[in-house]
Structure formats: structure tokens, C-alpha cells
Structure 1
Amino acid sequence: MAPPCPPRGIYAPVVAFFFEDETLDIESLKTHVTRLAEAGVAGLVIQGSNGEAPHLLHSERKEVISTAAAILKEKGKPGSVIIAGCGAQSTRETIQLTQEAQEAGADYALVLSPSYWVGAMQPTTIQKFFTDVAAVSPIPILLYNFPAVTGGIDLDSDLIANLASANPNKIVGCKLTCGNIGKLHRVAHDKRITTPFAAFAGKSEFFLHGLVAGSHGLIGAAVNFVPKVHVKLLELYDAGNLAAAQELQTQLSETDWVLVRSGVSGLKAALEKYFKYGSGRSRRPLNPVQSSVFSGEKDVVLQQIVDLEKSL
């Protein structure tokens, strides 16, 4: 049985792999999840933004979750968990996705705000949406705040705290990809939240900053690329070695900047170039990225941190 909220630690928002004809590449997924699990991550996020959730059929979502859950159970450390992206534009479909995620082996659901009708998504509407989902979902949910993919909708710290306090043990965390460290600090220390609550930083470029603010760890795209480096930074911080953690954070910030500029497909192209599996293929309309894009200074940055990853 999963703990009340996700364990503190490092989580990889797992990328989705495709063949040239855009069918799922399950063998590359298995290779990738095995590498992540053996690196010591606390868990996986399946069908987050990097998992291209909007591009997958419901049946494909279930297949990816069940595949990842089986490998994590076999290769991961005890207590490793699956968080499944379950955001949709209607309350009804979101609830359906949480049910299907639980059936496929997920422990928690990560839910974006609906955003198609941006003008109608006032705070009271958003609060009711998350409350309605939490009431019916068979697994606890985490709020996913990513304004760049929700038409600018940005959950503030009061809304997050109010939702958590009003739905104890049902709304158990959040992922803040907005990059607002002040918000993260407020949420992590809000006295209105009296049940276990996991406030995660949402990008590797502010991983250490989030830890100082009181985060529960990280859910960041670059964990796909160098999971051991992220685990090492958390170990350094917990040991009180802030200088070494800052040095590692500098490398991660540079790495994250290179990967983010290449997009979701670029992250997979980097895995192909440096770890020899997958490809830079996504489902259209996202364009593929060739691994040759990582040349010159980009290659220097990535190769340096890959060498570190392989040494750990």
C-alpha cells in the first residue's frame, strides 16, 4: 500500500518512445525505466508533459503505466511509486483517467487544470474541479501547476493550501513547474496543511533552490537524462555539504538549459546520442529532433555530466 503522500526524493517524468510510424516503442521504454530504477529514483511520473500524455490513447496510457510499474517493482528500491498524469479537459474524463491509472498500477495521480475554456477557469471553478476529482479518484492526487501548457492558468499558494486542507489524504502534493520558489516555500510551510503533503520542484534548474525552500524533492525532465546526478545532489544537501551541492546544481542548471531548448523530442534525441536507446521521434505535430543537434558547446556540457553520471 502506498504511503499517504509520495516519498521524498527524485522522480523522473518518463518520456514516451515512438518508432518512425509513431507506434509505441515499448522496448526502449523498458530499457529506460530499468536505468532509472537502478539509479535509485524514488519513483516515476508516467504521462506527465514529457510523457506526451495528450498524444496517447487511453489504452496506450494504461499499457505504458503497467509496463513501467512492473519494471519498477522488479528493479526499483522498496517503496518506489508510480505517479500517473491524469489531466483532461473535463472532470468526467479526468476521473476516468484516475480509475484507469489505478487499474494499471499507479499509486497517485498528477492532475493539470483544465484550460480549453481559459476565460471560464476562475479560481472557484478550478477549486471545484480538483475537489470533485479528489472526491471520486481511487488514488490520491497531486496538483500540477504548469502555466505554459494551461493557457497561463497559475495556481497560487492560497488555492493550493486551501485545496490540500479541505481534502486531507486526497490531495497530497503538487508539482510546481511555474518556477516560483516563493510559492513553493509558502506551500511547504503552510500551517493550514496538517496532513502529509509533498510539494515538488518542477525543474532541475531550481532543484537545490527548492530543497532550501523545503521541497519534497524534484520531478524534473533532466532526471530522465542523468538520474544518478540528481540522487547525488540530494545526498549532498542532506549531508549538509552545501558547497558541493551548489557545484553540482551549476552543472544541472547548464544541462537543463541545453535540454529544455531542444524540447521534448530533443531530450529523447539526447538519450539516443549518449545512452544508445530510443530516438528523437515524437507524435506529430511535434517535430523529430536529430541527435546531431547536440554538437559544439552543447556536446561539451552534456558529455561532461554524462561522464559524471556513468562514474556514480
Structure 2
Amino acid sequence: MSPSIPPRGIYAPVVAFFNEDESLDLSALEAHITRLAKSGVAGLVVQGSNGEAPHLLHSERQEVIATASAILKKHGKSDAVVIAGCGVQSTRETLLLCNEAKESRAHFALILSPSYWTGAMQKPAIEKFFNDVATSSPIPILLYNFPAVTSGIDLDSDLIATLAASNPNIVGCKLTCGNLGKLHRVAHDARIPRPFAAFAGKSDFFLHGLVAGSNGVIAAAANMFPKVHVKLMADFDEGNLKAAQDLQTKLSDADWVLVQLGVAGLKAALDRYYSYGGGRSRRPLGMVDGAKFEGRADSILKELVDLENSL
């Protein structure tokens, strides 16, 4: 029997919180996951791009996954899905991370393309990498396509369909590339003989992805506004397109603000509007302080925070 796919819904790619000495701030992580657990999200992505995966030790990755799982269970959300980012530069270490993720109670692994030796990463090499990982991983994997962090490597729809069709342990993908035509093709590709979870990878094309047939969204802004995302999907599913469009407009504006602030800026926004976390990343990433939230940026985010708090 083929592995199950992640349930349709909203997934928050959980940010990593750090103390002033750059050690993990697990108290802020608990406050954050507690809020997410109560918001109606289908699950969490741990150690995605916003989780600063490249900055964490293996032991810290395991600690964060185990902590997230324990907090979900504590709040009666044992059925919530945990997807762990496990993609690194070698097949060997990627598989090590997949095994460690399973030990820490993750359900799925999210795998980026290797990209250090960019010139060598032609389609045959990438296809073999994902097949090798999927074949040996103890948990099902999702392909993670994010050209901005993989030296421009961009998985096309034919490669995704070929991988999904040939390896039953490849059960989905996250498309942060923003190519809606690709998302639509993958979501409806007849070459894939079983359910396949194609996720939009950003809030600013969440509704567009639903129209294309996505399995939901894995989006940084879901850290800030999980209930708003859940409401947009509900409006879409109920056929209330105008309400969904109105929410999408707000989310698109907010997503653009957060993109410009970067990973540390998202954490600074959580601190400013929800009073936990601080705008701190591990070096060489910097810090973002409250001065960045002025004028139009503050107005856009505050409007959605107020809406989030009202739901």
C-alpha cells in the first residue's frame, strides 16, 4: 500500500527562536506552537527555510521536532502532521536526517535539491538523488522546490511527475517557485497513479493554488495569521469566492511586507504583535528591530492581526 499523503490544509513552517547567546529559545517555541495548535492548522513544517535549518545542529533539529510533537500532543492535537526539513547536500546525510526525523516523531520529510555543485545537478543527477532518498527513507518525502535557496535549480512538472509516478514514497511537493501553471499540471497529472499532495509555497498565491487544485499551502505568513488562512480555505470550499478574494488581497499585501523583512523580520513581527520570540536569527543572519514596522507596513500587518484575533 502506498504511504498516505499529508491531509489537505494549512501548514505553518515554524520559525526557529534563539536566545541572545544564539541557543534555542524553547519557551518561545512552545508559545508559538501552542498558538498554532489552537488555530486549526493541519500541521507544522519544522526546519524549513523559515526554521533556519542550515543553522541547526543535528541534535537541535531532533530537539525541535520532538518539542513540536510534544506540544501538539499536550494540546490534544496528536493527529496534527509534522513535516521535517531534511534536505542537505549529500544523499548520505539527507538519509541520516530522515532517520533522525522519524525517531523524533516526524511523519514526513521535506527535501530540497542539493545545489552546492550546481553544474553537476542536471536532471539525471537530481532524479537519482530524490529516488535514492525516497527509496531508503523511513518516512515518506515531499519534494521542495525553492530555486532562491538552491542556486536557481528549478524542478519542472515533468520531473516531479516522473519521480512521483516511479517512487511511491514520494507523496507530495511544496512549490515555492510560484509557478501556478506547474502547480496545476502536477495536481492533475494523469501519470501519477495515486493521490499526490501538491502544496502552494507562499501565501500570496494561496487562493490561486486552491483554484489550481493544490492540497493547501505551506507558507511563512501562516506563522502570523493561521486562522486567516483557515478562513480563506473555508470560504473557497463553500463557494464564497468574493470573501476568499478579499482575504487573499490582504494576505498578498502582508506576505510582501514579510518577504522584505526576511526570516528575522518574521520573528520580529511575532514579537511585536504577539509578544514572544524577538527578531533574532543565528549569525550571519542579522536582527530586525521595531523600527522596520512603520507606516504602511504596520497598517497592513495590524489589520490582519486584528482579524486573526477576532476569529
TM-score grouping bracket, smaller chain normalisation: over 0.9
RMSD, aligned CA:
1.0
Task: Give SS of 1:83's match.
Answer: strand
State whether residues 86 and 94 of structure 1, in contact with CA within 8 Å, keep that contact through their aligned partners in structure 2: yes
- How far did residue 77 of structure 1 move? 4.1
CA–CA separation in structure 2 for the residues paired with 1:267 and 1:76: 27
2:195 & 2:67 partners in 1: Cα distance? 28
Deviation at 1:82, TM superposition (A): 0.2
Identity %: 71
Name the CA distance, whole Å, in 1 between partners of 2:76 and 2:138: 24
2: CA distance, partners of 1:72 / 1:40? 12
Q: Which moved more, 1:287-296 or 1:253-262?
A: 287-296
Q: How far off its partner does 1:76 sit?
A: 5.3
Specify the alignment match of 1:38 in structure 2: 38
Question: What are the equivalent positions in structure 2 for 1:11-30 lying under 5 Å apart?
Answer: 11-30=11-30
Q: Tell me the distance in 1 between the aligned counterparts of 2:133 and 2:291.
A: 43
Give the Å deviation of 1:3.
6.6
Give the distance between the partners of 1:209 and 1:76, measured in 2 at CA.
32
Retained in 1: the 8 A contact 2:115–2:151? yes
Structure 1 gaps, min length 5: none
2:262 equivalent in structure 1: 263
- Offset at 1:91? 0.2
Displacement of 1:20 in angstroms is: 1.1
Query: Aligned partners of 2:103, 2:126: CA distance in 1, in Å?
Result: 26
Report deviation, 1:78. 5.7
Equivalent residues in 2 for 1:159-174, closer than 5 Å:
159-168=159-168, 170-174=169-173
CA deviations over 1:252-308 (Å, ceiling 9, x no partner): 000000011000000000000000000000000001111231111111101100000
**Residue 297 and residue 26 in structure 1: after superposition, are their counterparts in 2 closer, same or farther (change >3 A)?**
same
CA contact (8 A) 2:82 2:107 kept: yes
User: For residue 245 of structure 1, what is the amino acid of its counterpart?
Assistant: A
What is the aligned partner in structure 2 of residue 81 from structure 1? 81
Q: Distance in 1 between matches of 2:242 and 2:132?
A: 45
In 2, Cα distance between the equivalents of 1:76 and 1:187?
A: 34
C-alpha separation between the residues in 1 aligned to 2:158 and 2:79?
31
In the TM superposition, what whole-angstrom CA distance separates every residue of 1:91-146 from its partner, at most 9, and x where no partner exists? 00000000000000100000000000000000000000000000110000000000
Give the direction of change, closer, same or farther, for the CA distance of 1:76–1:224 in structure 2 (3 Å limit).
farther
Aligned to 2:5: 5
2: CA distance between counterparts of 1:74 and 1:162? 40
> 1:185 Cα shift?
0.1
Pairs within 5 Å for 1:1-312: 4-75=4-75, 77=77, 79-168=79-168, 170-312=169-311
Paired residue type of 2:79:
G
Report the secondary structure of 1:143's partner residue.
Answer: strand
Aligned residue type for 1:38 = K
**Which segments of 5 or more consecutive residues in structure 2 lack a partner in the other structure?**
none
Report the TM-score when normalising by structure 2. Answer: 0.98
The count of aligned residue pairs is: 310
Kept after mapping to 2: 8 A contact 1:266/1:291: no
Mapped partners of 2:181, 2:133: distance in 1: 27
1:76/1:206 CA distance change after superposition, 3 Å: farther
Flag as ranges the 4+ runs of structure 1 deviating above 3 A. Answer: none
Paired letter, 2:305: V
Determine the C-alpha separation between the residues in 1 that align with 2:28 and 2:149.
26
Indicate conservation of the 8 Å contact 2:72/2:78, yes or no. Answer: no
* Alpha-carbon distance in structure 1 between the residues aligned to 2:291 and 2:32: 21
2-side partners of 1:286 and 1:53: how far apart?
13
- Range that drifts further, 302-311 or 73-82: 73-82
Instruction: Tell me the secondary structure at the aligned position of residue 153 of structure 2.
Output: coil
Structure-1 separation of matches of 2:258 and 2:52: 16
1:23-77 residue CA offsets vs partner (Å, 9 max, x unmatched): 1000000000010010010000000000000000000000000000111123254
Distance in 1 (CA, whole Å) between partners of 2:40 and 2:290 is 27
Conserved? CA contact 1:40–1:76, under 8 Å = no
Query: Aligned with 1:256: secondary structure?
Result: helix
* Shift of residue 80, structure 1, vs aligned partner: 1.2
Q: Does the 8 A contact of 2:3 with 2:171 survive in 1?
A: no
Measure, in 1, the Cα distance between the counterparts of 2:74 and 2:178. 34
SS of residue in 1 equivalent to 2:38: helix
